[in-house]
Amino acid sequence: MDAPGWFRRYETKLVWEMRKLSRKKRFSRNWQKQKARIQRLHAHIANARRDFLHKTSTAISKTHAMVFVEELRIQKMSKSAKGTKENPGKNVRAKSGLNKAILDQGWFTFQTFLGYKLHWSGGWLGTVPAPYTSQTCPVPECGHVSQANRPTQSKFRCEQCRYEGNADTVGAMNILRAGLARIACSPV
């Protein structure tokens, strides 16, 4: 299920093929051939991604009845990288690399697939507006929120209670808790 891994392999190949194209005489027969090869590669990548998203969403919908995801995460992150004309985004390159990884995994498409598959099987996909999911301590008695709880991209360590864990896992725990709290106090 390692999407970024296989995408990177395709990406390397794509860069390689495009470099080859740039060395050919524009509009020549060989250039046309190379161009067609690149188009096929693009189509292949799109198919492979779709296939991956279908398999993953099917697997999850078969083993879960209720799933929560963070609301509008992709849109926000994509926007923040670009910035505006007057106020260009900071760390644009780093962010666009991250965005690219997220978008390439087709998070939005994935949510759509997962949503209707859960629906088919009588389950449900819920969204949670969760601004600090990756900075909040998941220990119920603690719940300390701080940027310092995230010493690295992948690591979570609570400043106060010293709880340690994988940052993605912590994010998921917080999303689940927020989702359950949401349905507990509002009729679905």
| Binding interface with Zn ion (CB under 5 A) | 137, 139, 142, 144, 158, 160-161, 163
Q: How crowded is residue 184: how many other Cβ atoms within 10 Å of its Cβ?
A: 8
Helices within the chain (DSSP H only): 3-23, 29-63, 73-82, 92-104, 107-120, 167-184
The residue (of 124 and 163) whose beta carbon lies closer to Zn ion is: 163
The residue (of 137 and 167) whose beta carbon lies closer to Zn ion is: 137
Minimal distance, residue 86 CB to Zn ion, in Å: 39
Minimal distance, residue 161 CB to Zn ion, in Å: 3
Minimal distance, residue 164 CB to Zn ion, in Å: 10
Phi, psi of 130 (to 5 degrees): -130, 85
The residue (of 74 and 173) whose beta carbon lies closer to Zn ion is: 173
Please give the span between the terminal C-alpha atoms of the chain, in angstroms, as a whole number: 32
Phi, psi of 140 (to 5 degrees): -55, -40
Minimal distance, residue 159 CB to Zn ion, in Å: 7
The residue (of 99 and 149) whose beta carbon lies closer to Zn ion is: 149
The residue (of 86 and 141) whose beta carbon lies closer to Zn ion is: 141
Distance CA 30, CA 35 (A): 8
Minimal distance, residue 65 CB to Zn ion, in Å: 30
| Token output for 107 | 């998070």
